Structure 1
Amino acid sequence: MDSIEKAIYGLACLYYIIIPLGYFATLWLPASEMTGKGTILVTGGAGYVGSHTVLELLNNNYSVIALDNLVNCYAEKNDKPESLKRVEKLTGKQIIFYNVDIRDKTSLDKIFKVHSIDFVIHFAALKAVGESVQIPLTYYQNNIAGSSTLFEVMQSNGVKKIVFSSSATVYGIPQFLPITEEHPTGQGCTNPYGKTKYFVEEILKDVCVSDHEWKVILLRYFNPVGAHESGEIGEDPSGIPNNLMPYIAQVAVGRREKVYVFGNDYPTPDGTGVRDYIHITDLAIGHVQALTKLNDTTFFGWKAFNLGTGRGYSVLDVINAFSKASGKIIKHEFVNRREGDVAASFADASLAKIELNWTATRGIDEMCKDTWNWQSKNPNGFKKK
């Protein structure tokens, strides 16, 4: 056998050995080992919850495409949002980013056409309870119309797996505590923000009825607080914070004079509102666990899960815990109740433990410690000055 015949024989052997091995590998190896765990489109990916979730997704071997209209996050002109740049630094991985509003159907469709998207995690929404009472039409237009547009584009591109960032506000005034997923929703929602979350949930439920290929996880989380343990990313609201923890942090760092406590006459142990606060990292991990549920071949339709600690803390509890964590005196003043607030709300999150293999592990002390670590390292948030 001459050299040419030997070469041909060798190539033939390789062909008939390697191709069958590759075929059987697709049968034996999990898809995650063959191609990674999949590509996730994260709407509102540069925001507080979005950026922390993107970090956890990257650390769990997912590819991420993030889009955001930069309404509630910081970015230099024509640059990637600072939160995502820091996530890239922390993970050593790249994020594809688009500056797109979810109401822009044409731009959304282009993203789905360019990329092979496996799942969507939908955060993009205006989210301030008090503000929603003042400008309800803006909230309905952004949160409901924007979500509907996103779902239409998903449907037309055959992407039918989604985790929706919902809220405990869909439960309205609690009829019992702790709140389980069986609690009625949409009854007595106290503000437009909560109503938008409820309406979007209902839209997704109807989509599941109309098309049985859809898989939808509704994550109803309570009050996200804290920051990544590195202090590199955290909550950086535009303008005056609408939530308690970032306001306290800005008082502690000297950006604001004092905390205004909305109401001290609620039927609670110290008269101030009681909430279930959940560390942002625990919350982000919950989204990763939800993707595993979506990949379950026996799961179709929709299901809701509470993400919380199952324990309530009052406003004064949080102020005292933050003072301890920061070593700062947190000045505060009692003022009238805020329209749209409820006296107490905390979760029963046992269903998430059973079906998502998820539970919150970080308490109020760690929430305050990590918030202070973020705020003290970044007194002006993501802005350099």
Structure 2
Amino acid sequence: MKSILWTTLLIVALLVGAGVAYAGGYLDPLLGERGVTAAPVQAPDAQTTTVAQSTDVGDATALMDNLVVADARVVPAQAADLGLSVTGILSEQPVQEGDTVAAGQLLLRLDSATQRTAVSRAEAELQRAQARLAEVRAGARAEEVAAAEATVEQAQAALAKIQQGLLPGNVAENEAALAAAQARLSKLYEGASDQELINAKAQAANAEAELQRAQRAYNEVKWRSDVGALPESAALQTATNNFEAAQARYNDLLAGPSQADVAAASADVRRAQAQLDTVSNTLPTDIAAAQAEVKRAQAQLDLLLAGTRPEEIASAEADVAAATAALQEALVALAKTELHAPFDGVVAALNLEVGEQLTAGETAVRLAGLGDWEIRTEDLTEFQVVGLEPGMEVGLTFDAIPDLNITG
């Protein structure tokens, strides 16, 4: 039933369609079942009048003497159909239809495992780039400088050794060492001379006689309890050792050199010959190579002491900047998997459930503001409102709330 309010010039009644819950916060699909709504027709001042086709008086809008009656809808002045710019599976939706939400509150979140992995990878790359930048800015470590200095010293020592080998005195010294080693080897092959055998046999006999004398002296006191502390015991031990050594020497001379002695002497000869060959065969090219190694080692040391070039620092800084940008890009991609409320309002509709796929650009949440409301109509013509002027009184009744009448 319509409620009509008369004015001295014109009477306007707006009848709002059923399905609008003015006090409860639930909105008919923005808000009703009429589909897309048109922009309102507004008067110049704050007392805006919007009118539409009346469903209570037939399909046509009624225009009578001083009365305009129209059907309209009450809609929030601020409303939005919300979605995301990426496609994904809905993993979290912490709100329900009818919930009041604050600006910035999370409305839904897509599965973001891939995006989180990309963020972790970008963070690691940024840390690597930052570490590299810190390294080049710090320059060479003390350990690296010490190692380079040691390399220079080794190269210098090698050069000095080569140069020393070219001296005539050094060659003669190595020739003498070779001759001595060869003489010792030859002596082993020749064996002991007759005179050496006679001398060795005589020494063994003398040692035996001394042993017998010491044995007799010991026998005279061996009955004593303190015999171990007597000089006769020490003399017997010394005589025994001397005899065994002399006898072994004599036996060695009779048997000739052992294979081990010959092998050791032969090795001495080979070492002496190799040293002489090294000294004798040193060429000017060897000296040049050693000098080049000294220069190379010194250049490496100088490079470390000079510090990092500005170009290297600039390159490392560019790597940090690129890694930072990549991380920001990854964070943006992660943020795109979440939908937050752009303003305070009420969740009017949720179009998806957890586990369903959201397509980029698809409306997932319909949000209505809690502030001002608007009265909207769709098909009033300007001929029907030709007599209306700003400031005229308007009356509102609501089919869903029969007892509510508003004028203004």
Verify same fold: TM over 0.5: no
TM-score by length of 1: 0.18
Query: TM-score, normalising length from structure 2?
Result: 0.17
Determine which structure has the larger helix proportion and give its number: 2
